[in-house]
A = this chain, B = another copy of it.
């Protein structure tokens, strides 16, 4: 059997991510109908840079960011620690010069106006070390302000379909991983209805690098159809003031997760990443009410009851 030549290189992966950002922004602009993305390009002092695209006050999206970055440089202790590469996992000889890394990815968070629309997050990324180690990571998770059974099922089925095209173990592995990752311990709540999360995806005897790349491409390509589905379906849902207030409290939880627990955010802020690009994920407005308790039997209470790990949506 002729060894298949692998085509996933840092160049091809990077090119795919740049194009993905372009295509997603175009789809979101079309579905929104009124706003267009503002682009900021930035350089990283240590090497590389990115393109942050921000949409504000659209017809559907109140504030959203779609970021692309491709950064490289010396893998400092902080970098290695954040990647769980210290001690036994650290590649190379610790006595020699630290390895260099290359990291590229696309990150998205969208906050809609309508509380009947979910917040969505997506990230796909690729890491490569000068030592030869490389891996893919990523995930998509949905944060409805009100959990709607049918929407959550449709979302998870969409992700499962993507996963199943590549490996029958992916959805069953990456769904609980998302439950664990997008969890707010101090609230004992999941951030939303979860989705999929994966990291350190490396080739095996039977799975080639190109297979992993194909999966990550499929995940990235699934984002726009999934969210524009909700944009078309939920954009004009009637809104009551109590629902708007609840949305603002749920955005407070989103802030709490991102600033206290999200590893990517913490890593970025602690290692002098570009703050405005990292905090693109912040909502336009978030509220806090001391010890808010939803009314018994309300939709708010029902939603809280579903923000837990292990719900089988498909």
Contacts and interface: CB of A to CB of B under 8 A. Distances in A.
Interface in A275-289: 275-276, 278-280, 282-289
Given A186-B275, A282-B252, A290 B259 contact: no
A56 B256 CA distance: 21
Contact of A260 (B54, B269, B272, B291): B269
A255 to B, nearest CB: 6
Range of interface residues on A (Cβ < 8 Å): 35 or more
A266 interface: yes
B248 A285 contact: yes
Interface string A170-188: 0000000000000001110
A283 B289 CA distance: 8
Contacts of A279: 256, 288
Given A186-B269, A269-B186, A275-B186, A284 B291 contact: no
A77 interface: no
Nearest to A287: B285
B286 A280 contact: no
Interface string A275-314: 1101110111111111100000000000000000000000
A264 to B, nearest CB: 13
A45 to B, nearest CB: 14
Contacts of A38: 290
Contacts of A22: none
Given A256-B259, A266-B260, A280 B290 contact: yes
B275 A282 contact: no
Contact of A288 (B269, B283, B291): B283
A194 interface: no
Nearest to A258: B259
A259 B269 CA distance: 12
Nearest to A269: B186
Nearest to A54: B290
Given A186-B269, A266-B260, A269-B260, A284 B285 contact: no
A63 interface: yes
Interface string A212-248: 0000000000000000000000000000000000001
Contacts of A286: 255, 285-288
A40 interface: yes
A301 to B, nearest CB: 17
A186 B186 CA distance: 24
A115 interface: no
A65 B288 CA distance: 12
Given A252-B282, A286-B286, A291 B276 contact: yes
Interface of A: 38, 40, 54, 56, 63, 65, 185-187, 248, 252, 255-256, 259-260, 266, 269-270, 272-273, 275-276, 278-280, 282-291
